[in-house]
């Protein structure tokens, strides 16, 4: 079900308020340039910094603007099982096609705790659930055997956004769950290797500014043109690395501002990119052929 290039969209701000017109403009740009889907209010969207009202508006606008052309997945994970269930039930009413549920952060649950958390979440909703594993952010790593246990025990878990940076771990998930389970790369620098392992696509950061390139990389691989996919992967790599000079989405928002795209500043506690890193970012973008 989940294949190709899904874009983890930013939340654009203007004077520290949600820029709704900018959000609409960005979504149209992504759809027009071949993106397979939209992921709203996740890490790149600064979800922890949004008010409840802003969160609802971003998800609703995303659903309204895609008009069913591509799926919308809403970031809906918290470190409270009860709050996560309520949040997913809320976005279910907005018409999303999936919920991206990050592993509970700060609490440091065991693998059994993770299993029970996700099982309760999955059983409380009809929205397809994608597990989001990003240990560098959460301090919590869901292991392949736990993912497989959930997949075999629950009907409504459909995929994994893999952002552990561990290809062995992703390979083990693929081995245990098989081809019906949709693995999506959560690390732009590892999208091509993950596709080779069996991933179906990516939830991409860099696709915010290069949606056509990431979409083509995924399409080329799925059509068997591995040489073209590899070439695109290697060409994109410097831009991908530049997106993580500082904490995501700080470099991405700076890049979008430089490119004249709706973005605005990150919201506290994130701050704008350090001045010494701006020339590095500019050079990478210009070397790739982007006009600033």
The residues with which 162 forms a beta bridge, in sequence order, are 133, 185
pLDDT band at 1 (very low <50, low <70, confident <90, very high): confident
The two three-digit tokens of residue 144, written as one number: 């392949």
Maximum distance among all Cα pairs of the chain, rounded to whole angstroms: 50
Express each pLDDT in 272-281 by its tens digit. 999 999 999 9
User: According to CATH, what is the number of the domain 4-223?
Assistant: 3.20.20.70
Name the strand (E) or helix (H) holding 184: strand 182-185
The per-residue pLDDT for 187 is 97
Residue 265, number of CB atoms within 10 A of its CB: 18
Name the strand (E) or helix (H) holding 168: helix 167-177
* Catalytic residue ranges: 132, 161
Q: Give the C-alpha separation, 53 to 11, whole Å.
A: 13
pTM of the model: 0.96
Residue 179: pLDDT over 80: yes
Residue 268: pLDDT over 80: yes
Of 73, 165, 152, nearest to 118 by C-alpha is 152
Of 242, 233, 227, 238, nearest to 273 by C-alpha is 242
CB-based burial of residue 199 (10 Å sphere; 0-12 exposed, 13-18 middle, 19+ buried)?
Answer: buried
Express each pLDDT in 6-48 by its tens digit. 999 999 999 999 999 999 999 999 999 999 999 999 999 999 9
Residue 257: pLDDT over 80: yes
Express each pLDDT in 60-114 by its tens digit. 999 999 988 999 999 999 999 999 999 999 999 999 999 999 999 999 999 999 9
Q: Give the C-alpha separation, 174 to 11, whole Å.
A: 32
Domain boundaries, the chain: 4-223
pLDDT band at 269 (very low <50, low <70, confident <90, very high): very high
Residue 139: pLDDT over 80: yes
Q: Average model confidence (pLDDT) for the chain?
A: 97
Torsion of CA 259, 261, 266, 267, to 10 degrees: 160
Express each pLDDT in 232-242 by its tens digit. 999 999 999 99
The two three-digit tokens of residue 23, written as one number: 């959000």
Instruction: Decide: 188 and 202 in contact? Cβ < 8 Å.
Output: yes
Q: Give the C-alpha separation, 208 to 212, whole Å.
A: 10
């Amino acid at each position: 079900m989940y294949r190709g290039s899904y874009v983890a969209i930013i939340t654009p701000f203007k004077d520290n308020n949600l820029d709704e017109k900018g959000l609409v403009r960005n979504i149209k740009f992504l759809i027009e340039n071949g993106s397979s889907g939209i992921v709203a209010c996740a890490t790149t969207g600064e979800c922890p910094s949004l008010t409840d009202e802003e969160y609802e508006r971003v998800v609703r606008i995303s659903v309204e603007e895609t008009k069913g052309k591509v799926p919308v997945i809403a970031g809906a994970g918290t470190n409270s099982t009860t709050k996560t269930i309520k949040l997913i039930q809320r976005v279910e009413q907005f018409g999303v096609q999936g919920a991206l549920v990050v592993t509970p952060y700060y609490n440091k649950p065991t693998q059994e705790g993770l299993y029970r958390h996700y099982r309760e979440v999955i059983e409380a909703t009809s929205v397809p659930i994608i597990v989001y594993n990003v240990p560098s952010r959460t301090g919590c790593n869901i292991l392949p055997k736990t993912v497989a246990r959930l997949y075999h025990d629950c009907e409504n878990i459909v995929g994994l956004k893999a952002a552990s940076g561990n290809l062995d771990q992703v390979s083990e998930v693929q081995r245990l769950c098989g081809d019906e389970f949709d693995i999506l790369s959560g690390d732009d620098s590892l999208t091509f290797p993950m596709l080779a392992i069996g991933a179906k696509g990516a939830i991409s950061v860099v696709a915010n500014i290069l949606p056509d390139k990431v979409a083509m990389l995924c399409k080329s691989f799925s059509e068997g043109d591995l040489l073209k996919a590899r070439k695109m992967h290697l060409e994109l790599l410097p831009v991908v690395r530049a997106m993580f000079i500082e904490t995501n989405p700080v470099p991405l928002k700076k890049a979008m501002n430089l490119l004249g795209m709706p973005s605005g500043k990150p919201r506290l506690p994130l701050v704008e990119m350090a001045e010494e890193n701006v020339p590095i970012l500019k050079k990478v973008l210009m070397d790739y052929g982007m006009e600033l």
